[in-house]
Structure 1
Amino acid sequence: MVEKLKRYIRFIEETERLKSVVRSARTSTGRRESTAEHSWRLALLALVLRDEYPALDAGRVLDMCLVHDLGEAYDGDLPAVERPDPALKASTERRALIRLASLLPEQAARRIAALWEEYETGLTPEARFVKALDKAETILQHNQGANPADFDYAFNLGYGAAWFADDPLLRTLRRLLDAETARHIER
Structure 2
Amino acid sequence: MPVDRILGALEFLREAERLKDVLRSGHTSSGRPESVAEHSWRLCLMALVFADEFESIDALRLIKLCIVHDLGEALGGDIPAILQSEGTNKAAQERADLKVLTKALHPAKRVEILALWEEYESAATPEAIIAKGLDKLETILQHNQGQNPSDFDYAFNLGYGLKQTAAHPLLAKIRAVLDEETRARAEGSKAV
Partner in structure 2 of residue 118 of structure 1: 119
Give SS of 1:148's match. Answer: coil
Tell me the TM-score normalised to structure 2 length: 0.94
**How far off its partner does 1:15 sit?**
0.3
Give the direction of change, closer, same or farther, for the CA distance of 1:86–1:58 in structure 2 (3 Å limit): farther
| Ranges in structure 2 where 5+ consecutive residues have no aligned partner | none
Q: Provide the rounded CA distance (Å) in 2 between the counterparts of 1:164 and 1:25.
A: 19
Runs of at least 4 residues off by over 6 Å: none
Q: Secondary structure at the match of 1:103?
A: coil
In structure 2, distance between residues paired with 1:166 and 1:19: 30
Give unpaired runs (5+ residues) of structure 1: none
Q: How far has the Cα of 1:170 moved from its partner? A: 1.1
User: 2:124 aligns to what SS in structure 1?
Assistant: coil
CA distance in 1, matches of 2:11, 2:26: 29
Partner deviation per Cα, 1:127-159 (whole Å, 9 max, x = no partner): 010000000000000000001111100010010
Partner of 2:3: 2
Partner of 1:139: 140
Report the Cα offset of residue 72 of structure 1: 0.4
8 Å CA contact 1:21–1:34 kept in 2: the answer is yes
CA RMSD after TM alignment: 1.1
Q: Does structure 1 residue 185 correspond to structure 2 residue 162?
A: no
Report how far residue 123 of structure 1 moved.
Answer: 2.2
Q: 8 Å contact 2:137–2:165 — kept in the other structure? A: no
- Alignment match, 1:158: 159
C-alpha distance in 1 between matches for 2:94 and 2:167: 27
**Structure 1 residue 127 corresponds to structure 2 residue 128:** yes
- The aligned counterpart of 2:103 is 102
Q: What residue is the counterpart of 1:44 in the other structure?
A: 45
TM-score (norm 1): 0.97
Q: Percent identity of the aligned residues? A: 53
Cα distance, 1:97 vs. partner?
Answer: 0.5
SS in 2 for 1:74: helix
Query: Do 2:75 and 2:101's aligned partners in 1 also have CA atoms closer than 8 Å?
Result: no
